[in-house]
Structure 1
Amino acid sequence: MDVPPVSDNPLMDELGLTLPEPIEICDVTLRDGEQSPGVVFSREEKLEIAHLLDELGVDIIEAGFPVVSRDERECVRAVARAGLDARVCCIARAVLGDVDAAVECDVDMVSVFVATSDLHLEYKYKKSLNEVVRCAIDAAQHAKDHGLVVRFAAEDATRTPIPRLLSVFREAQAAGVDYVSIADTVGILNPFTTQHLVRTLREQLSIPLCLHCHDDLGLATANTLVGAACGVRQLHATVNGIGERAGNTPLEELLLGLRLHFGVDRYDLSVLTRLSKLVERCSGMAVAKNKAVVGENAFAHESGIHVAAIINHPRTYEVFDPSVVGASRRLVIGKHTGKRALAHITRQMGYELSDECLCMVLGRIKQCTELKRGITWDTLQRFIEESMREIENRSGK
């Protein structure tokens, strides 16, 4: 794959950053992604998405929330029994019945979650911290007794005082859970606070950390990458960044960031465009044209200066080759198209146009685009034919 090495990024090369922990990716599309308003995945859709995530090579697939409904339980069980290489996870409240539902689904891992911030304790639970943590520890131990890998997740961890969060995580660690998870439930983290929080927890705990970021402030990818750089083991993401409110860390952005900045190359990134389109279709949530990595315009070029450089060497205006993520480059005809770019495009269409004809076609293109009309290939072909006829008529042939 034509992915630039780390040396293509001189600033990262100068810093010499490496990941202190071997990371693993937990994709939460089928659970948190489905919490997007109006999104419901059928059993068949969950299986199709899970198989493609497995082809990509994600380490863990969070398949759902079994206690929600009988249908949800069947969906989670179907994914768990699909013969995937990835471990299958589900979530559970700090309730023994939720854990029993997870056990019935044959999952490998369960994430027992409990909120730890003052806001949630007072307005959601109306209980003390000790009460809710005790319930969560009991649920976690119940899951361990049934042979499950257990992730202990602190909901709204990033609005919880660090000494309190440390105390809760130490209790979970002593209870024998396998991971503790920082949930940035309302997306309040920034890269600086992420660094401080993760480093503080990592210094005080011996248990692997997980990081689950929401994108309310548009910082989820940056925060997750910083978390990885500071020692988070398990990174959470969703395809296309779907999820409740503003969504989650986009999987495609996270994987490209890990590859380009830290050299993590064990995931098959060529699956990403197919996966993005599948989730877009199943969720009904359109991907923005300018979305990083998988958007329609991610590898589209119109500016004459840019296209001219791209023709000489694609990397002048592309940080990685589109084939890396299973996409293709697109040269767009529009107001900013230059003569050289047009000559290249028309040559690909089978025309060898004179300078006079190219200028005439460009004039028609600019006039059309200034009226905010799109230029399709059929329109371009019509402009070429009209310009050629006009030149021919002028010459009297």
Structure 2
Amino acid sequence: MVAFKDLTLREGSQVPGLEISADAGRRVLDRLADLGVDCVEVSFPRAHAREEWFRHADDRGLRTAALARAVPGDVDAALAVDPDEVEVIVSTSDRQLEHALGKTRAEAREMLVENVARALDGGVHVGVTLMDAMRADHDFLPDVARAAVDAGASHVTLADTTGAGTPSCVEETVGVVADAVGHDAAVAVHTHDDMGVATANAAAGVDAGATRVDATVGGIGERAGNAPLEEVAVLLRERGDDLALALDELAPAGRAVHDALGVDIPPAKPVLGERAYRHESGMHTAAMLDDPGTYEPFDPATYGATRDLRFGTDTGRGAVRALLRDAGVDPTEDAVAAALDRIRDAAEARGNPLPEADARDLLDDQ
């Protein structure tokens, strides 16, 4: 069973220009509760406590996580908002250790272990995120993961912080750490979309043993964003994985979250976009009236979305013939030609192709 940790609010708060009001945050949490995500990483309390969101999440039955760097001040700030879980993070690549953290490998390992213990003393569950894991040394990474688990961490998240990973790299990295921690802790994967492969990378992490995926609705996050929760969920489900999600809420919840945040959904966005299930091509619609799966990878209804067949200037005779049969009209050549003219004229007058229901209504009295 693959679970999801949603980071939309925490990652969204890092998007330049995106200001999330208290009310918008509550609306997002309401939809995440409907979706049934395993956990919500609400905020980085050292910067923004957002305690009202933690309490609203509690009221909605959501498990909450607070982010903390591996320093005492961050851990104490995280404990102060009373989360269910504290996620302690530390850089693991040599590049970030030198230029971002200014620490050696040994110092970073010690910081992590000490602050895992500090968080555990606060009476919460503790997980760790190893940042820039896909560029970390494969001797050091399992060593620091094992040290965190021995200190009491219940899970280890491997973060592709810069989005530099590829599926093969992610699979190898997750596999190395999964072998190191064994059954003593769960492994999760956290991917970014800088090279357009965050969804594929998340799936590769699951292939290698990750049982939880960090994701955000619509991929909302800094730079090119994170793995889009809805895309990862559909990919995993369609290939046969069991998911801990209310799948029929996927599209409605995703669209509602974007609405709450005031973030537009690109029309061609997979799963959520308004054109994601729209077809007009004559060859496509004709076949899909007989068998929708002819030109669809999955049934939109599974994820709470609706198929959208359109009829207009690109509609062919085969599609019209199928509509006439459904309407109980003998699809003679003259009837097809007349119906095609009516559809094209109506679409031209409207300035847009007709939805399937309107096209059917137009032909019902033919």
TM-score under structure 2 length normalisation = 0.87
Structure 2 residues without counterparts, runs of 5 or longer: none
- Give the Å deviation of 1:250: 0.8
- Give the Å deviation of 1:345: 6.4
Distance verdict in 2 for CA 1:266–1:116, change over 3 Å: closer
* Deviations, residues 321-348 of structure 1 (Å, cap 9, x unaligned): 2221111111123443213434666999
What's the secondary structure of 2:87's corresponding residue?
Answer: strand
The reply on whether 1:191 has 2:167 as its aligned counterpart is: yes
Pairing 1:358-377 to 2, within 5 Å after superposition:
358-361=339-342, 374-375=351-352, 377=354
2:99 maps to 123
Q: Quote the Cα distance in structure 2 between the aligned partners of 1:146 and 1:38.
A: 34
* Deviations, residues 274-296 of structure 1 (Å, cap 9, x unaligned): 21222222333221211111111
Q: Quote the Cα distance in structure 2 between the aligned partners of 1:287 and 1:347.
A: 37
Q: Is the Cα–Cα contact under 8 Å of residues 85 and 125 in structure 2 kept in the other structure?
A: yes
Q: Quote the Cα distance in structure 1 between the aligned partners of 2:327 and 2:109.
A: 67
The reply on whether 1:247 has 2:225 as its aligned counterpart is: yes
Q: Quote the Cα distance in structure 2 between the aligned partners of 1:136 and 1:76.
A: 27
1:268 maps to 246
What's the secondary structure of 2:9's corresponding residue?
Answer: coil
Q: Which has the larger radius of gyration?
A: 1
Pairing 1:294-333 to 2, within 5 Å after superposition:
294-333=272-311
Distance verdict in 2 for CA 1:348–1:163, change over 3 Å: same
Structure 1 residues without counterparts, runs of 5 or longer: 1-21, 386-397
- Give the Å deviation of 1:245: 0.8
1:45 maps to 24
* Deviations, residues 74-100 of structure 1 (Å, cap 9, x unaligned): 24433443241x311110111212222
Pairing 1:70-219 to 2, within 5 Å after superposition:
72-84=49-61, 86-206=62-182, 207-219=185-197
Q: How many residues align?
A: 355
Match for 1:82: what amino acid?
A: D
Distance verdict in 2 for CA 1:286–1:190, change over 3 Å: same
What's the secondary structure of 1:107's corresponding residue?
Answer: coil
Distance verdict in 2 for CA 1:120–1:324, change over 3 Å: same
Distance verdict in 2 for CA 1:79–1:120, change over 3 Å: farther
Q: Quote the Cα distance in structure 2 between the aligned partners of 1:155 and 1:381.
A: 52
Distance verdict in 2 for CA 1:77–1:157, change over 3 Å: same
- Give the Å deviation of 1:248: 0.8
Q: Quote the Cα distance in structure 1 between the aligned partners of 2:228 and 2:164.
A: 17
- Give the Å deviation of 1:228: 0.9
- Give the Å deviation of 1:226: 1.6
Percent identity of paired positions between Structure 1 and Structure 2: 35
Q: Is the Cα–Cα contact under 8 Å of residues 283 and 318 in structure 2 kept in the other structure?
A: no
1:11 maps to none
* Deviations, residues 227-281 of structure 1 (Å, cap 9, x unaligned): 1122112211111111111111111111112211124154211111221222222
Match for 2:297: what amino acid?
A: V
1:15 maps to none
The reply on whether 1:31 has 2:7 as its aligned counterpart is: no
- The one of 315, 320, 332 equivalent to 1:337 is 315
What's the secondary structure of 2:46's corresponding residue?
Answer: helix
